[in-house]
Chains A and B, each alone.
Chain A
């Protein structure tokens, strides 16, 4: 079974500073994918970044980067130069085997990020 652990219920950061949101995972699948989603107060889940288990380099998308350490089974999200609009709930998720004909995601419990001026 797959499991995602986010140990930080809440994080505070000042505007323009960088912040790291932790995510560890557990799976026996040889191939998997890791995702980060942002959920603002409106409730919509916004896809941020993806890392495949065989990707050699860490994924980056604008101000978001994923610090992937496969041996430690961690996939931390780094947000550089935080903005007030980054205040939201952040979820780490993992996808199972890609050739199964479908992809289902297992989500962590989330981390609430608050960015202060």
Chain B
């Protein structure tokens, strides 16, 4: 069966520091991968999606970037975090219509 992992689970970072969140999927090949952000008490906002290695599409221009160095690995990065980057970051994978989400990373920027 397929599983999706995210780490770290929680993260507290100072403003201006770099960021690297990792997402890996097991049990499937060539999945579509997604990064979402959820601000406190709000819905999910799609940040990036990827249909293959090295193929990244950005939905929202901001100081975040994403990379897909391997088929089942998706990384969310920032060179300098802003206060507004705080939130709950969810990675998801999809085959056909369904998207399945990872456990998420709760990021607090101070």
Whether A and B are associated in the same complex: the answer reads yes
Interface residues of A (CB under 8 A from B): 33, 35, 37, 42-47, 50, 52, 91, 93, 95, 98, 101-110
Interface residues of B (CB under 8 A from A): 32, 34, 42-46, 49, 51, 59, 88, 90, 92, 94, 96-104, 106
A–B complex contacts, Cβ < 8 Å, 21 sampled: A33-B97, A37-B101, A43-B103, A44-B103, A45-B104, A50-B98, A93-B44, A98-B96, A98-B97, A101-B51, A102-B32, A102-B49, A102-B51, A103-B32, A103-B94, A103-B97, A105-B44, A106-B46, A107-B43, A109-B43, A110-B43
In this complex, which of B32, B45, B51, B97 has the most chain A Cβ atoms within 10 angstroms of its Cβ? B97
Nearest CB of A to B2, in Å: 12
Please determine whether B90 and A45 come into contact, CB atoms closer than 8 angstroms: yes
**Distance of A41 Cα from B13 Cα, bound (Å):** 22
Candidates A37, A44, A46, A52; contact of B97 at CB < 8 Å:
A52
Nearest CB of A to B6, in Å: 10
- Given A43-B88, A108-B43, the answer on whether A103 and B96 have CB atoms closer than 8 Å is yes
Please determine whether A43 and B99 come into contact, CB atoms closer than 8 angstroms: no
Closest residue on chain A to residue B50 by CB atoms: A102
